[in-house]
Amino acid sequence: MKPVIALVGRPNVGKSTLFNRLTKTRDAIVADFAGLTRDRHYGDGRIGNQEFTVIDTGGFEPDSTTGIVKEMAKQTRQAVAEADAVVFVVDVRLGLSAQDSDIARYLRQASKRIFLCVNKAEGMSESPLLGEFFELGMGEPHPISASHGQGIRSLMEAVLEPFEFEDEEEGAEEQAPDGVIRLAVAGRPNVGKSTLINTWLGEERLVAFDMPGTTRDAISVPFERNGQKFELIDTAGLRRKGKVFEAVEKFSVVKTLQAIADANVVLLLLDATQGVSDQDAHIAGYILESGRAVVLAINKWDAIDSYQREILQRSIVQRLGFLKFAPIHNISALKRQGIAPLWGAFADAYASAFRKMTTPVLTRLIQEAVEHQTPKRSGHFRPKLRYAHQGGMNPPLVIVHGNSLEGVTEVYKRYLEGRIRAHYKLVGTPMRIEMRSSK
Ligand code: GDP
Ligand code: GDP
């Protein structure tokens, strides 16, 4: 599993700048989805061969506007408790503050691996100003400049040191499909995850195998539905109750991110009575980044009237437009309405995520697309698309070969994507297109 790194620190020290820098390798993938790149709080990054997940805890809403550590949002505390390491960010230009000391005190008792990171230190790595941060008792400060990209590699090498050389080929991305839908139910607190899961578990008379118990007590429950094998990956705190499981526990960001990474299909639940919140958008953004197949369900549909329904549907298009490939189901977990069709949606999303595409067919699709609409000339050359092959599954990756492909615009890529999607009837999965020029 990818290690989880939590960024902690008071406002304005540069956490989100650091977050963006750590996750920037992924930005290329998501840059074109309106509303997604700005203001994200969960993301994946990579240093060398080592992948990791970053949580910017600054993004959690504080319980209180006045307080610091004591009132540090519950979610922040929980993220710190569950993370593999904490990067504590301070600001060298503002110097040490009482708030920093409070956070340090809190972190010390959390007994985590903590890395003190002194930001905005461009041009001052030898500065005596750094010395004052020793007072925090968090070991040697790592000077960095998040905005200039300095010191970040050496900081992260220290943070990731214990995880190096881990086998990384585990991600579902490259796994051959074994016909088992690994399903994660994601959503912020109180959207109805436990209610829905308990409905399922109650119906299913689960055969409760012994828990595979991977790291971090992740639980997954195997079950079958209409002949289709599923494995439910825990996000809702599944507890064993005799021979069956029961969903009880409350929301955990870390568990959610790991379950998403582990899944091949994610059910993202929204709460109709709450609309689309920032946290929904963050989770959605993380799912997209991870490339998992997605089914959206708006729960508590029973609790809003037709006027509210209309407003909600509009705000979903607006705020979660980047998931427009995902089917949307209106459900009530409580009243057990609209739930049955979800099973088919999971199966379709799974089949789409693992669709096999052959080189001859992809090449023909690309050539037809070009005949229908040639890509624009950029600079001296017109991009020449020659052939295409499939480079991966979950999500489907199509690699297009040709010449001068750097000039292919995002708009054109989306046009190609549309044609490929239509041909293969892809639903519920993101897909990626990569251009590979030969000289
Ligand atoms: P957050 O509230 O901790 O997430 O802080 P932000 O990332 O929003 O940064 C706060 C301010 O500090 C912004 O104006 C950033 O441009 C600035 N900033 C971030 N990193 C650096 C840095 O390395 N050097 C300098 N000089 N400014 C920085
Ligand atoms: P979780 O935190 O996501 O696991 O959410 P829970 O399953 O604990 O549900 C939170 C609250 O929403 C509980 O009071 C549920 O009874 C209520 N709830 C769940 N599903 C529905 C639904 O479909 N309609 C309505 N009206 N309430 C629901």
0.95 surpassed by complex ipTM:
no
Q: Is the CB of 149 under 6 A from ligand 2?
A: no
Tell me, what's the pLDDT at 132?
A: 86
Mean pLDDT, rounded, for 242-267: 77
- Are the beta carbons of 57 and 86 closer than 8 angstroms? no
Atom number in ligand 1 closest to CA 17: 7
Tell me, what's the pLDDT at 169?
A: 46
3-state DSSP call for residue 326?
A: coil
Unique residue bearing structure tokens 């970040």 = 152
- Are the beta carbons of 248 and 239 closer than 8 angstroms? yes
Q: Is the CB of 334 under 6 A from ligand 2?
A: yes
Is the per-residue pLDDT at 247 higher than 90? no
Is the per-residue pLDDT at 208 higher than 70? no
3-state DSSP call for residue 73?
A: coil
Q: Is the CB of 237 under 6 A from ligand 2?
A: no
Is the per-residue pLDDT at 123 higher than 60? yes
Element (DSSP H or E) covering residue 56: strand 50-56
Q: Which two tokens stand for residue 178?
A: 């074994």
Cα separation of 299 and 44, whole Å?
A: 28
Q: Is the CB of 394 under 6 A from ligand 2?
A: no
Q: Which two tokens stand for residue 439?
A: 């000289």
Annotated binding-site positions for GTP: 9-16, 56-60, 119-122, 187-194, 234-238, 299-302
Q: Which ligand has an atom closest to residue 22 CA?
A: 1
Q: Is the CB of 15 under 6 A from ligand 1?
A: yes
Q: Is the CB of 300 under 6 A from ligand 2?
A: yes
Q: Is the CB of 193 under 6 A from ligand 2?
A: yes
Tell me the pLDDT band of 330, cut-offs 50, 70 and 90.
very high
Give the mutation target among 60, 76, 147, 148 for probing the ligand 1 site: most ligand atoms within 8 A of CB: 147
Unique residue bearing structure tokens 């009575």 = 273
**pLDDT tens digits, residue range 61-91?**
444 444 444 445 677 787 888 899 999 999 9
- Are the beta carbons of 75 and 184 closer than 8 angstroms? no
Give the mutation target among 7, 12, 124 for probing the ligand 1 site: most ligand atoms within 8 A of CB: 12
Mean pLDDT, rounded, for 345-352: 96
**pLDDT tens digits, residue range 389-405?**
999 999 999 999 999 99
Highest-confidence segment of 210-224, 339-353, 367-381: 339-353
Atom number in ligand 2 closest to CA 337: 23
Q: Is the CB of 248 under 6 A from ligand 2?
A: no
Q: Is the CB of 236 under 6 A from ligand 2?
A: yes
Q: Which two tokens stand for residue 115?
A: 């890395």
Give the mutation target among 7, 13, 15, 17 for probing the ligand 1 site: most ligand atoms within 8 A of CB: 17
What is the Å distance from ligand 2's center to 190 Cα?
6
What is the Å distance from ligand 1's center to 93 Cα?
11
- Are the beta carbons of 101 and 95 closer than 8 angstroms? no
For the whole model, what pTM was predicted?
Answer: 0.80
Q: What's the mean pLDDT when you consider all of the chain?
A: 83
Tell me, what's the pLDDT at 182?
A: 93
Is the per-residue pLDDT at 282 higher than 90? no
Per the model's pLDDT, the better-predicted residue between 205 and 379 turns out to be 379
- The conformational region for residue 222 under phi > 0 = left, psi -120 to 50 = alpha, else beta, is beta
